[in-house]
């Protein structure tokens, strides 16, 4: 039975019709599922938290690796269905919960072998990534299906940086594993997708600047689109413009540059210079 036939059969059994408003586009290409699992590089002693398993198709592929799969699903109708579907799978655990409010610490996960995977609704993307990176105990690897343009923005380099790229790259090394056209989904979405892999930096690799100070400066720098750095930083941090520009020049950063052109190490240097305490 093809993945598409299986998904249509399961939806029919549940009496559910995919809702575009909820981002319900089901992946129907087995080869793409294999790419997601391959990118995770799962070992039998790993634990993978799956975000929004839906009908459990990705869950099945993840479980075949031998890793422990903890699938967190918000829809209680699907939770009951998934629990029945995987009742004989010893390495699969189904949990009902909203992933954005989920207390990851309740799972007592070992940080050395805990990973995250999911084919998520596009409207959740930024919020979910921020939640995983900022609020959760850090996983070692995250592999997600995202909108193509968002994945490209996350992986950008100067001079095409954005606050999203800076925010993700502060915590992780991102890479695009594969592009996935809309025809690989049922129903097909209006945009193409990409599988993105985030390899989290270990404690020593995360920039030394405190998160709060670093992001306060970065947010100020990106506050005015295509405006010069000196203007944005002085306004956003409530500093005299002449003082901000003098400080930037002292570390070799031209205040006329734009935020999109800066590297992470330059942001760290700027944060330590403008907000030394």
Residues contributing to the annotated binding site: 25, 27, 52, 73, 98, 119
- What is the CB neighbour count within 10 angstroms for residue 112? 8
Residues contributing to the annotated binding site for S-adenosyl-L-methionine: 25, 27, 52, 73, 98, 119
Helix-then-strand count for the chain, H and E: 11, 9
Structural domains for the chain = 3-200 (3.40.50.150), 211-274 (1.10.8.100)
Q: How far apart are CA 61 and CA 65, in angstroms?
A: 7
Predicted TM-score (pTM) of the model is 0.92
Question: The dihedral of CA 112, 46, 23, 81: what is its sign?
Answer: negative
Query: Are 150 and 122 within 8 A, CB to CB?
Result: yes
Q: What is the pLDDT along the chain (277 residues), one digit of tens a residue?
A: 799 999 999 999 988 888 766 677 899 999 999 999 999 999 999 999 999 999 999 999 999 999 999 999 988 889 999 999 999 999 999 999 998 888 888 887 765 668 999 988 888 888 999 999 888 888 899 999 999 999 999 999 999 999 999 999 999 999 999 999 999 999 999 999 999 999 998 765 565 558 889 999 999 999 987 789 999 999 999 999 999 999 999 999 999 999 999 999 999 999 999 998 7
Contacts of 88 (CB under 8 A, 6+ apart): none
Question: The dihedral of CA 151, 11, 131, 90: what is its sign?
Answer: negative
Query: Are 142 and 132 within 8 A, CB to CB?
Result: yes
């Amino acid at each position: 039975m093809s993945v598409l036939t299986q998904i249509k059969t399961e939806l029919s059994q549940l009496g559910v019709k995919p809702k575009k408003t909820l981002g319900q586009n089901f992946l129907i290409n087995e080869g793409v599922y294999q790419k997601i699992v391959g990118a995770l590089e799962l070992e039998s002693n790993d634990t993978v938290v799956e975000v929004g398993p839906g009908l459990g198709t990705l869950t099945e592929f993840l479980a075949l690796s031998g890793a422990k799969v903890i699938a967190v699903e918000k829809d209680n109708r699907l939770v009951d269905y998934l629990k029945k579907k995987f009742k004989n799978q010893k390495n699969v655990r189904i949990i009902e919960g909203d992933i954005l409010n989920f207390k990851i610490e309740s799972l007592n996960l070992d940080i050395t072998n805990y990973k995250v995977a999911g084919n998520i609704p596009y409207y959740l993307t930024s919020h979910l990534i921020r939640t995983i990176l900022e609020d959760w105990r850090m996983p070692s690897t995250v592999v997600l299906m995202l909108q193509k343009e968002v994945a490209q923005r996350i992986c950008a380099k100067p001079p095409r940086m954005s606050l999203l790229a800076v925010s993700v790259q502060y915590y992780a090394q991102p890479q695009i594993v594969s592009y996935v056209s809309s025809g690989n989904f049922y129903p097909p979405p209006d945009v193409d997708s990409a599988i993105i892999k985030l390899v989290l930096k270990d404690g020593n690799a995360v920039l030394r600047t405190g998160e709060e100070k670093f992001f306060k400066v970065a947010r100020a720098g990106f506050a005015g689109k295509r405006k010069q750095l000196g203007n944005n930083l002085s306004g956003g941090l409530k500093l005299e413009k002449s003082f901000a520009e003098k400080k930037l020049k002292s570390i070799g950063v031209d205040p006329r540059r734009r935020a999109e052109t800066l590297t992470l190490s330059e942001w760290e240097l700027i944060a330590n210079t403008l907000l030394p305490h």
